[in-house]
Amino acid sequence: MWRQLSALLLLGTSVANAAGSWTSTPFSPHSVPLAVRTPYLSAWLPQGAGSALNDRWAQYWTGSTLGWTGFIRVDGKVYSWMGAPEGDGFTKATQTDMEFTSSSSFFNLAAGPVDITISFLSPVLPTDLLRLSLPFAYMSISVSSTDDNVHDVQVYTDISGEWAAGIATDPIKWETHLGAIVTHQVQLQKQEPFEEADQQSRSGSAVYSVSNSTGLTFQTGEDKVVRAAFVSNGKLSNAQDSEFRAASDRWPVFAFAKDLGSVSCQTDPLVFTIGHIRDPAAKYLLAGGATQDRSSYFFSELNSQDDVIKFVMDDFEKVTDLATKFDDQVKEDAAKVSPEYAGIVELSLRQAFGACELTISKNADGSFNKDDLLFFMKEISSDGNMNTVDVVFPAWPVLLWANPELGKYLLEPLFAYQKSGQYPNPWAVHDLGANYPKAIGHNDGKDEAMQVEESGNMIIMELSYIMKTNDTSQAEKYIDLLHQWAGFLVTDSLIPGHQLSTDDFQGPLENQTNLAIKGIIGIKSMSVICDILGDADNAKKYGDTAADYVTQFQALATASTGDHLTLKYGDDATWGTTYNLYADKLLGLNLFPQSIYDMQTAWYKKQIMNFGLQLDTRNKRAKTDWEIWNAAISDDDLRTQIIKAVATYAADGKGDQPFGDLYNAEDGTLEGFRARPVSGGHLAIMALNSQKAPAPVPPPATPNCTAQKKHKKRIVQGARKH
Ligand SMILES: *[C@@H]1O[C@H](CO)[C@@H](O)[C@H](O)[C@H]1NC(C)=O
Ligand SMILES: *[C@@H]1O[C@H](CO)[C@@H](O)[C@H](O)[C@H]1NC(C)=O
Ligand SMILES: *[C@@H]1O[C@H](CO)[C@@H](O)[C@H](O)[C@H]1NC(C)=O
Ligand SMILES: *[C@@H]1O[C@H](CO)[C@@H](O)[C@H](O)[C@H]1NC(C)=O
């Protein structure tokens, strides 16, 4: 199935730059996702105030260039439609429309008497584990005549060595595989598994493919030479440059050309796939200190690289259909909140999943162990840690909404590592490893400590997973750890010590109101987990403590003026957003009285600025994820205001980086973070609305931990709150 641009272009905004003007739907973001699937396949089109597909080069999420070029030759006249190639003999096609959905970005350009539509598909299919795990995106091209005449058309595209080399001066090598599918494969000469260079992988290959068909030609060689060949001849020489060198040394490009012949009506899509494959994909520390090499999940269903590329190529129609259905579902659910909210969410999906990879281990006999799936997330841009608990936590709503099973696979290695006894601290670890994709833990205990933050996060996420799925197996397996962290919260969360919260860029602080909320909700969540597992004694113990703390907390955290919660206890001049209350609503705990929500909502209405609601009184910084969390638990009026402010920021044209979650609430300028998976937190309103959690089941008459397994089946029937 070939997707057309939406008929709803009227909803879009008009964008203009020196080169022309076009319509952007649903809005013009700071950067448009092109091929965004994994931490290492992440290509974007920077926008600023507006850039057409052929105004600038595509960029890796860091902002470094990814050469990706497009030309079209119409009756012998050549136009560029992608990238910023230099040279003679061509002019630029004129962009008329850009549109994005959750998984696709579409561009329409006019090239003389033909229109060219380019579609970039990065399928987001969270419940389809094979397709979810494929590190591939599609670019497809369709051409139609706009003047009732038939035109002679050839199309060209190339990629540069920058797709395989984070450092362009590192030597690369390449090969073109011929056959039913033609593939350019590019890789660093020196392969270093699990290492990165300027945030790109130092191992694996970039692969660019197209189906072989009549009129297809290819070439590898210096950019100027290869492009000039197409510009002059409308075809390539099928020659391979065998002088391997650095990506920046006479810029080798990997090109295809296709003669479409005489074009009148819309042509069938010409489909290219672009991927970045590596094997092994991640290193993982086991109990006992050995490490395990893990593979991308798709290798358990598709044997070789050739099989993978063939599957991806053959899958285009099917996956387009699946992705369209998913996009529609996202849009429908998000639009129930508002059109602005839908736009924010649609921009967020590829980014959230594009930080993640599903992996699998092998059994001793070399077969894959289908019972051992782990989902890894890179803390993109802020520090590159692996499965950072306080980054998984803000991203969590997208997993709850789209597939909570993936949440289980994300938490599993964190639980397993800490159960192995190698992590020395009593609180929950910050992350699984300082440098993605090395999940080697922090056996020295010197991870970035966020004691209350991470301990609360783990318990809250586990309970939300159980409530969404009725699956208690993970909580049962790691019940001792959950008790350990809950115990830590009991001693350390009502009066939190001098420590960091997830907003570490604000620095540490003692007695943080919002951290206390997290800790207290964590304690109550543990009460509910115990209840569900049939441990009534502990359920009561934790429940009583949480209730008592809520009472004490209100006295400690409410400003003496009675109109807001302070940022830290006892300092009336401070305030901060208490987005941690979201979990109270999400889990249906109703632990904190409605009066607190009402007070905070009234306060925020007085504080909100044009571009958003600042995080706290230390500065004007706002976080898009936490703003949406707040919006989810405020009244309709404030919710609308927050969403409008975030949408204003997202479309303000002041940035050219993948969705940055940290910015200035007063003037909408960016503060550095980019492409982070926390954009998954923008689904907080949808996750809350979809949380039709069953009420917890009554505990068994004489509950205890040895009895819990027997009761599991019954618990799954529903759970009752105390
Ligand atoms: C395309 O297929 C033909 C026929 O099988 C083959 O001769 C040719 O080498 C292939 N071309 C490429 C670029 O793989
Ligand atoms: C934290 O709050 C508690 C309770 O009000 C108080 O006793 C303590 O001095 C505060 N700590 C700091 C460092 O302000
Ligand atoms: C725990 O429950 C099991 C099964 O109901 C029961 O046999 C056992 O006596 C109980 N143990 C305690 C300490 O209550
Ligand atoms: C969980 O159990 C409840 C009660 O039996 C049921 O209504 C609900 O559909 C179950 N949820 C899932 C995801 O199985």
As a whole number, mean pLDDT of residues 155-178 equals 98
Of 153, 114, 155, 150, nearest to 264 (Cα)?
150
The answer, yes or no, to whether any atom of ligand 1 lies below 6 A from the CB of 256, is: no
Closest atom, ligand 2, to C-alpha of 510 = 13
Could you tell me whether strands 77-82 and 90-92 are parallel, antiparallel, or unpaired per DSSP bridges?
parallel
User: Token match 């030759």: residue?
Assistant: 73
Q: Each residue of 88-118: b (16+ CB within 10 Å) or e? A: eebebbbbbbbbbbbbbbbbbbbbbbbbbbb
Q: Is the pLDDT of residue 16 over 50?
A: yes
The token pair at 700 is 């068994």
Alpha carbon separation from 511 to 64, 289, 446, 495 (Å, rounded): 41, 37, 23, 6
Q: Return the pLDDT at 11.
A: 60
Substitution candidate for ligand 2 out of 569, 571, 572, 574 with most atoms within 8 A of CB = 569
Percent of the chain whose predicted confidence (pLDDT) is above 90: 92
**Band of pLDDT at residue 575, cut at 50, 70 and 90:** very high
DSSP state of 499: B
* Distance in Å, CA 211 to ligand 1 centroid: 10
Substitution candidate for ligand 2 out of 495, 498, 513, 558 with most atoms within 8 A of CB = 495
Q: Is the pLDDT of residue 692 over 80?
A: no
Q: Mind listing the domains of the chain with CATH numbers?
A: 17-278 (2.70.98), 382-689 (1.50.10.10)
DSSP 50-115: ---TTTS-EEETTS-EE-EEEEEEETTEEEEEES----SSEEE-EEEEEEE-SSEEEEEEEETTEE
3-state secondary structure of 119: strand
Q: Return the pLDDT at 228.
A: 98
Percent of the chain whose predicted confidence (pLDDT) is above 70: 94
End-to-end CA distance of the chain: 51
Q: How far apart are CA 464 and CA 586, in angstroms?
A: 8
**Band of pLDDT at residue 648, cut at 50, 70 and 90:** very high
Other CB atoms closer than 10 Å to residue 172's CB: what's the count?
A: 25
Q: How far apart are CA 15 and CA 28, in angstroms?
A: 7
Reported as a single tens digit per residue, the pLDDT across 580-622 is 999 999 999 999 999 999 999 999 999 999 999 999 999 999 9
Of 63, 291, 48, nearest to 199 (Cα)?
63
pTM beyond 0.85? yes
Closest atom, ligand 1, to C-alpha of 217 = 13
Reported as a single tens digit per residue, the pLDDT across 78-95 is 999 999 999 999 999 999
Residues 114 and 153 sit within 8 Å (Cβ to Cβ) = yes
Q: How far apart are CA 373 and CA 17, in angstroms?
A: 47
Reported as a single tens digit per residue, the pLDDT across 693-718 is 434 444 444 443 444 444 443 333 33
Of 162, 229, 169, nearest to 200 (Cα)?
162
Q: Each residue of 623-644: b (16+ CB within 10 Å) or e? A: bbbbbbbbbbbbeeebbbbbbb
**Band of pLDDT at residue 690, cut at 50, 70 and 90:** confident
As a whole number, mean pLDDT of residues 424-436 equals 98
As a whole number, mean pLDDT of residues 334-349 equals 98
Lowest mean pLDDT among 235-244, 266-275, 693-702: 693-702
Closest atom, ligand 3, to C-alpha of 700 = 5
Q: Return the pLDDT at 709.
A: 46
Reported as a single tens digit per residue, the pLDDT across 274-296 is 999 999 999 999 999 999 999 99
CA angle (436 as vertex; 430, 440 as ends), nearest 5? 65
Average confidence score pLDDT of the chain: 94
Other CB atoms closer than 10 Å to residue 357's CB: what's the count?
A: 27
Ligand nearest to the CA of 179: 1
Q: How far apart are CA 266 and CA 54, in angstroms?
A: 21
Q: Return the pLDDT at 12.
A: 79
Ligand nearest to the CA of 720: 4
* Distance in Å, CA 485 to ligand 3 centroid: 25
Alpha carbon separation from 48 to 15, 28, 52, 56, 646 (Å, rounded): 11, 9, 11, 11, 17
As a whole number, mean pLDDT of residues 539-564 equals 98
Reported as a single tens digit per residue, the pLDDT across 516-526 is 999 999 999 99
Order of strands across the sheet that contains 58-60: 31-38, 41-46, 58-60, 65-66
Reported as a single tens digit per residue, the pLDDT across 303-323 is 999 999 999 999 999 999 999
* Distance in Å, CA 694 to ligand 4 centroid: 7
Other CB atoms closer than 10 Å to residue 476's CB: what's the count?
A: 16
Question: CA-based Rg of the chain, rounded to a whole angstrom?
Answer: 26
Reported as a single tens digit per residue, the pLDDT across 357-374 is 999 999 999 999 999 999
User: Token match 């319509």: residue?
Assistant: 23
Residues 148 and 428 sit within 8 Å (Cβ to Cβ) = no
Q: How many CA atoms lie within 13 A of 254 on its CB side?
A: 30
Q: How far apart are CA 258 and CA 467, in angstroms?
A: 53
Reported as a single tens digit per residue, the pLDDT across 196-225 is 999 999 999 999 999 999 999 999 999 999
